[in-house]
Amino acid sequence: MSTSEIKAILFDLGNVLIKIDFSRVISEWVRFSGKDDIQISSDSILGSENEKYERGEISTQQFVSSLKRELKLNISDEKFLQGWNNVFVGETPGIRNVIDRVFSKYPLFVFSNTSISHSNVWRSQYSELLKYFDKIFTSYELGMRKPEKESFFKVCSDIGVTPENILFFDDTMENVVAAQEMGMSSVQVNSINDISNHLDQIGV
């Protein structure tokens, strides 16, 4: 993709703009429970119930009740959500430099698989970072998640740009591949250097 072909840049949120770490969630739940022998993995909390929650198919209360029951977690709903919302670590180091580099050249957008409870946190805590983006697309508002192609079609339609003219950064390969299959120029982000190096390569 040449710079003249780029009409918009689309960023994932978690581990692209903002660092997240689900081990922080688990640590909080263990601390609140007072039991060191609780066995919870990140995979176990990011299953089908979380996907329903991120599509807006179930309420926060339904999600909390279901996951507490599934994980046999004996803590209050308030403590559960306090732990759940502790996933955010901070801005990805160097992301401000990336935004400064592209902000005046292209419209910027965010597309995140996220829930309403997480959205309330990052919209508040990272408002200074997110003010540079024209629009933020969330899975719970769209009713669809990445890598579902319908979700990408909807985002492209709302942006008003064809997939071939969008540059997309995401940390999950499954999402990157799905976007590429639609014609987007897509880059997997394992570190901030992946974004900077790609911008160097295309002359931005």
Domain ranges in the chain with CATH number 3.40.50.1000: 3-19+89-202
The confidence score (pLDDT) of residue 37 equals: 67
The confidence score (pLDDT) of residue 204 equals: 87
The confidence score (pLDDT) of residue 34 equals: 86
Q: Could you say which residues of the chain have pLDDT below 70?
A: 1-3, 37
- 22-87, what's its fold? DNA polymerase; domain 1 (1.10.150)
* The CATH homologous superfamily of the domain defined by 3-19+89-202: HAD superfamily/HAD-like (3.40.50.1000)
Closest CA to 196 of 128, 95, 125: 95
The confidence score (pLDDT) of residue 38 equals: 73
CA contacts within 13 A on the Cβ side of 135: 10
- Please state the pTM of the whole predicted model: 0.94
Domain ranges in the chain with CATH number 1.10.150.240: 22-87
Check if the beta carbon of residue 112 is closer than 8 Å to that of residue 13: yes
The confidence score (pLDDT) of residue 196 equals: 96
